[in-house]
Amino acid sequence: MDNVQLKKLIDAINTDENKQRKKDAWTAYQCLEDNQEAYVRERLEYLYPMTHAKFRIGDISVVKKVIDKKNKAYKTPPIRTLATKQQTKALEEVYNKNNFNHAFAMADKYLNLYKYVALWLTYVNPQENSEELEGEFYLHALAPFQYDIVLDEITKKPVMFIMSYPSTDITGGSDFKNEIIADSEADINSEVTKYSIWTATEFIRVWVDETNNIIKTDLRTNELGVVPVGFLSYGDTSEYPPANNLHKQAIEWNVELSDLKTAAATQGHGQLVIEAPEGKQQKTYHMGMHTSIVLPQSRKEGTPPTKAYYINASPDLAGQLSVLKFDLSGILDSQGITSSSVISGGVDDVKSGFDRLLKEADVQDIVEYNQNLYANVLEPTIYKILQAYDSALNLARFTSPDITITFEKPKVLISDKETLDNIEKREELGLLLPWEKHILINPNLTEAEAKKKEEEIQAYKAEQAKAMQDAFNMNNEDDNQDDEGANE
């Protein structure tokens, strides 16, 4: 890739549209990490520029609660199987030693939050002159503001992966440039941004200035022969899928909650109005959260005195609360979360009611859908990249062409007695084959495993029955001998 092509790529990364995508992703991440209050305050300041400082802030972590509810795919890590037991054991060692399951769990969280996710697998060589040290694999789940990706239009697989950290025009505050240029040469100043770019054949580092002009490039061969990133998207195009608006919905909902909390507090305070002759020095009076209004009086003869009243707001809190609950239900519906219950109670019970609703909601369909994507797309991709590293390092540990991923199915949440009663009724009605009851008890068994288990049980029963029959026959023989002896 020459400098002309690199310049076009850098310009495309820095378009306003792409920057806005990353900025939205950063805001969503902040809401996920319980840092949404600043965004609620910012929105209130926009809506109420003169009075925003007096609002009671609503700050319920809608994003975190919703994502935590859906983020269950890797609650129990899947069973990963290769062609031989030796390869499977070696794979388990790599995954456990380098905490890959944590990275997959983070990927599940990001997929639910953003509708797409990237997993970057890298290998760090040990320090020089340290023969005893081993290299380490690192699997990183990346948020959209950390990278850009180019997908093949037909296969939808990554053909180019670009790592870059967000600048202040995206984060609004923190600057990651020190991390980006940590390994830069001394002549590269702090206004430089670095990009790391992978294709199947090349690894390129590019340094650009504030106007995106290329200062320096470092081109190397990508010895892996693959792009070292797995990408998964809910979309079916080579573009990024439509953004998940959960964070925007959460901010707007907390603005509504702020309105409600402020209205609830306001009805306990009135607007105090003071009448005073003109020219008399006045103090500033305060009443609750409000500042009093001072009304000067006219001295002109015949002019009636200026009057005002103690004004007490009477907001329709019940109506506002109904809208708040309705909007929250709409947010959950848009995220595929439904529940048979509703949020009940007053203003102070909104949070606890929201928690109860989420607890009762069933998201198993979402979890199983994601698990299916991971088993068929993301996990096999990461294995292929790991296999490429293994080959490049001449280790030859993973020669299996494919990996099999099996997620455990959740056990139905009913008591053992209810399960056994159900089995008994089905057997009475002739609706159950002998081996099927094992799958009802343990849904993770395959049909072959259930049949094998039933055969083992029947063989054991037959063996026990034969032993009892033999014992019975032996006792009869002894009794017969005793009877014969007595007759003699």
pLDDT in tens, 51-86: 899 899 988 899 999 999 999 999 989 999 999 999
pLDDT of residue 293: 65
Beta strands in 209-268 (DSSP E): 214-221, 229-233
Which amino acid is present at 392?
A
pLDDT of residue 127: 62
**Is 339 inside a domain boundary?**
no
Q: 3-state class of 193 per DSSP?
A: strand
How many CA atoms are closer than 13 Å to the CA of 310, on its beta-carbon side?
A: 7
**Is 330 inside a domain boundary?**
no
Instruction: Give the whole-angstrom CA distance, residue 182 versus residue 193.
Output: 11
Which amino acid is present at 331?
I
Token pair 């440039």 is at which residue?
A: 177
Which amino acid is present at 464?
Q
Which amino acid is present at 312?
N
pTM exceeds 0.85: no
Report the number of distinct structural domains present in the chain.
3
Same domain, 159 and 291: no
**Is 34 inside a domain boundary?**
yes
Model pLDDT for residues 36-54, shown as the tens digit of each residue: 999 999 999 999 998 899 8
Same domain, 15 and 86: yes
What would the two tokens of residue 316 be?
């329709």
**Is 461 inside a domain boundary?**
yes
pLDDT of residue 186: 35
Cβ atoms of residues 22 and 210 within 8 Å: no
Same domain, 171 and 276: no
Token pair 């092509």 is at which residue?
A: 5
Q: What is the DSSP letter of 287?
A: E
Which amino acid is present at 403?
I
Instruction: Give the whole-angstrom CA distance, residue 451 versus residue 439.
Output: 10
Least confident span in 74-83, 242-251, 296-305 = 296-305
Q: Answer yes or no: is pLDDT of 345 > 90.
A: no
Same domain, 298 and 216: no
Per-residue pLDDT, averaged over 244-264, amounts to 91
What would the two tokens of residue 52 be?
């925003």
**Is 296 inside a domain boundary?**
yes
**Is 340 inside a domain boundary?**
no
Please give the share of the chain, as a percent, with pLDDT higher than 90: 42
Higher pLDDT, 334 or 171: 334
Same domain, 280 and 185: no
pLDDT of residue 169: 66
Model pLDDT for residues 402-432, shown as the tens digit of each residue: 999 999 876 555 566 777 777 777 777 777 7
Same domain, 108 and 201: yes
Same domain, 140 and 274: no
Same domain, 52 and 158: yes
Per-residue pLDDT, averaged over 249-263, amounts to 91
Instruction: Give the whole-angstrom CA distance, residue 468 versus residue 414.
Output: 36
Same domain, 72 and 205: yes
Between the CA atoms of 106, 108, 114 and 115, what dihedral angle is there, to the nearest 10 degrees? 160
Beta bridge partners of 162: 148, 197
Same domain, 462 and 372: no
End-to-end CA distance of the chain: 110
Residue 431 phi, psi dihedral angles, 5° rounding: -100, 5
**Is 457 inside a domain boundary?**
yes
Same domain, 112 and 186: yes
Residue 327 phi, psi dihedral angles, 5° rounding: -65, -35
**Is 99 inside a domain boundary?**
yes
Domain range enclosing 51: 3-246+364-390
Instruction: Give the whole-angstrom CA distance, residue 292 versus residue 298.
Output: 19
Higher pLDDT, 315 or 14: 14
Q: Answer yes or no: is pLDDT of 104 > 90.
A: yes
Contact partners, residue 453, CB within 8 Å, separation at least 6 = 435, 438, 445
- Read out DSSP for 355-395? HHHHHH---HHHHHHHHHHIIIIIHHHHHHHHHHHHHHTT-
